[in-house]
Amino acid sequence: MKKLNTFIVSGLLAIMFIRIVLMISVATDTYDEMDYLRTGWYLAQHHNWNTESTIRHPSLSFYLHGIVLNNFHFSSWDQRLFWARFILALFSLILGFYIYRFAKSLYGQKAGLLAVALFSLSPNIIAHSGLITTDILLGCFMMCAIYTSWRLRESKKPFKKVLLVGIFMGLALLSKFTAVMMLVIMFLLVLAETFFFGKKFRLLPYIFTVIIGLFILNAGYSFKGTFEKTDSKMLRSSLFTNLNKTPILRLLPEPYIIGFDRQQYINEIGHPAFLDGKYSYSGWWYYFPKAFFYKEPLPLILMIFLFLLFFRQVYKKEYLSGYVYLALPVIVLCIINCFLNKNNAGYRYLLPVFPFIFVFISGLAELKIKHFKPALILLLAWFAVDSALAHPYYIAYFNEIAGGAKNGYKHLVDSNLDWGQDRNLVIKETEGKQIIFNPRIPVAGNIVINANNLQDVFKIRKTHRWLKFFKPSGNIGYSWLVYDLKIEDFENLVKEYPQDSYARYCLGSACSVAGRNSEALEQFAQSIKLNPEDPYVYNSLGQLRFFMGNIADAERQYLTAVKKDELLPDSYQNLAELYGKTGRQAKQKEFQKRYNVYRALDAMAFKTPVTVSYFSDKVSREPENPVYHNNLGFAYIKEGGVDKAIAEFSKALELDPYQLDYYANLVYAYNEKGDLAKAKELMQLYLKYQGTAKIKTAYFIQYGEDKVVLDSILLLPVLN
């Protein structure tokens, strides 16, 4: 029987691994992976954390593929990526083995088999096991540490427990910054042993465990900067700025502190997020619960419900310690992500809790209720079929509640659906066809657009909202949507919504692009009549008039668009182009400058008044705040005071020499003044410091041509 169980577990994990390998052989690198791959190569070559990319997350995953793969030659980065993914995927097998051991030790053989089956069939686990990211790696070492701590809780050799748990804790800390919660979890387990199980409060083993974990963490960074005080000017987050006032950070290596600080800063100020048609920079507490009900297979959700329903029948007193050790990681991680984190970048942040959930509910296998076993087998079969049908598009998996993968884009995007994994598939499917990719204005034709662009999650302006009027005719890998639109579709839209100014604008734009100018003019006129405040209509009408040769009217329409929306950058760019082509160089220069300024202001996620009086008041109240000096300089640029802008940018740089953006703003200001030598000198410094680990930059998301600045620092364009 033991051999049979071993064979089943090995078979389930082997099939899972084969599916992972098949997936990674076709999935394009996701948005972060190629950067991580090159960082692993760089660290293996130089063993130095002096670049920004080397501190984005802890170094273990970089070492795992960087050091190993540097002993081999690869014909391309894509080939190297495949083998890097292969190496990281091996840790999913280790995780599966520990899941089996935990469930078997807690409940019995059947439960062990059920737990590993749930793990090996999970589309979300498979999706992220094949990427060189950190979520599965963290889950692996968390499970190893928690299981070992539980298994050896009665051991008469406490040194063995302390050593093993400390090693696994250290590896977890080297996997992902959020592993710091392990320090809290392990301490709560010490308290649980005292209050739940009546054991003597013993803090010393916990302290030694933490010491071992911290030793491994520091060793992973060659003790760089350990026991030294970090310059507070290098830090951005409130948490680490305050912690730096205490000795606690001296126990950590400096690259780890700086990297963690950068990630914590994002957690504090937020990240663009999309959920069911809503947008947020600060997230929602219910983001992860909702994502759970969209992204997890229905049979798993039903099994969790059944476990809770029949908990009394499953429960035995000897299970209590296991339940405590399983529940605490789940509770702590869920609280952190739902209530203490503004970064709703993806459901994957919850993945480390699922190994514990699989073990928890595997107790259903030991339940002795009439007709329950066939029901459980049926649920497991449903789970298996559901999982198989997801192949190889595991990242895009959505359950029936969400309407399946084809409707996933309506609920969640980013790493939940569209992480760049289908780019090669799109190239293959569209080769030789007349395709319009990600059109920013309403247009008829064969359109292919990725879900992130469709939902405009990484944009200030919702430039693709016009496509929401129409249903996609198909998809590519579920993360790209296909539309086959004709002018008649826009005409039908106007018939359905005759009093909707935006519908009229969409028809006018589509007609304009198609060369049906008279119809376009008519629809634009109707749109303005229905809503005279829409700047996009005036801008599009100006473009059409310019194309038709009516320069004077084009100028009037562009200027009206600017009047309706001062921050609309397209109108300034169009005016600069118009003045350039009509020989009015002074006007061209003026509006190109306005374009640079207002494009920067438009990219700000959190709008504030940008006037000299507003920021002068801020500076007078907080004269040592470099951000206010920088923003005052920006206001002077906006209002034409170049010399005063230079003085304020220089003061900001004097107060905070680690902020790279102040160099870029000074380059722009000196270029504006005409002092090209000084601009060149500062640009060389900018390029020297760019991408280095200790230098800070304003936090923004660059997605194609679009930029969303979530920081309070006003940024002028970086001039080459």
Same domain, 380 and 452: no
d(CA 256, CA 225): 9
* Whether pTM exceeds 0.85: yes
Within-domain flag for 524: no
Query: Is residue 407 one of the residues assigned to a domain?
Result: no
pLDDT at 131: 98
pLDDT at 199: 85
The per-residue DSSP string of 212-252 comes to HHHHHHHHTTTTTTTTSPPPGGG--SHHHHHHTTSGGGGGS
Tell me: cis bond preceding 498? Omega within 30 of 0 counts.
no
Domain with 435, as residue range(s), is: 423-488
Residue 513 in any domain: the answer is: no
How high is the pLDDT of residue 50? 94
6-60 pLDDT per residue, tens: 999 999 999 999 999 999 999 999 999 999 999 999 999 999 999 999 999 999 9
The gap between the terminal CA atoms of the chain, to the nearest Å, is: 70
Residues 567 and 623 in one domain: no
At 154 the pLDDT is 80
Largest interatomic CA distance in the chain: 90
Separation CA 428–CA 425 (nearest Å): 5
- Exposure string over 303-322, b if 16+ CB within 10 A, otherwise e: bbebbeeeeeebeeeebebb
pLDDT at 1 over 80: no
The mean pLDDT of 491-513, rounded to a whole number, is 98
Q: Could you tell me if 145 and 182 lie in one domain? A: yes
* 282/369 same-domain check: yes
Total domains in the chain come to 4
Q: What's the mean pLDDT in 221-237?
A: 96
220 and 153 in a single domain? The answer is yes
Residues 677 and 559 occupy one common structural domain: no
Residue 606 pLDDT > 80, yes or no?
yes
CA distances in angstroms from 342 to 28, 63, 266, 401, listed in the order given? 29, 30, 8, 26
Contact (Cβ atoms closer than 8 angstroms) between residue 9 and residue 113: yes
CA-to-CA dists, residue 555 to 355, 574, 597, angstroms: 62, 9, 20
Residues paired with 528 in a beta bridge: none
Q: Residues 234-238: what's their mean pLDDT?
A: 97
Q: Give tens-digit pLDDT for 175-215.
A: 999 999 999 999 999 999 998 888 888 899 999 999 999 99
Residue 590 belongs to a domain with what CATH number?
A: 1.25.40.10
Residue 528 lies in a domain: no
In angstroms, the CA 297 to CA 120 distance is: 13
Kindly state whether residues 279 and 192 are assigned to the same domain: yes
Tell me: the pLDDT tens digits for 280-312?
A: 999 999 999 999 999 999 999 999 999 999 999
Does 392 fall in a domain?
no
Q: Are residues 158 and 16 in the same domain?
A: yes
Q: Are residues 318 and 285 in the same domain?
A: yes
Closest to 32 in 3D by CA, of 70, 88, 71: 88
Contact between residue 537 and residue 529 where contact means Cβ atoms under 8 Å apart: no
Per the listing, tokens 């996701």 go with: 30
- In this structure, the answer to whether residues 23 and 111 fall within a common structural domain is yes
Whether 480 and 542 map to the same domain: the answer is no
Look at strands 445-450 and 278-280 and give their pairing. unpaired
Strand partners, 692: 51
Contact (CB, 8 A) for 555 and 588: no
- Give strand pairing partners of 280: 273
Is there a domain that residue 715 lies in?
no
538 to 520, 553, 570, 684: CA distances (angstroms)? 12, 10, 11, 42
Domain boundary among 488, 516, 545: 488
Residue 527 inside a domain? The answer is no
Q: Are residues 587 and 649 in the same domain?
A: no
397 inside domain: no
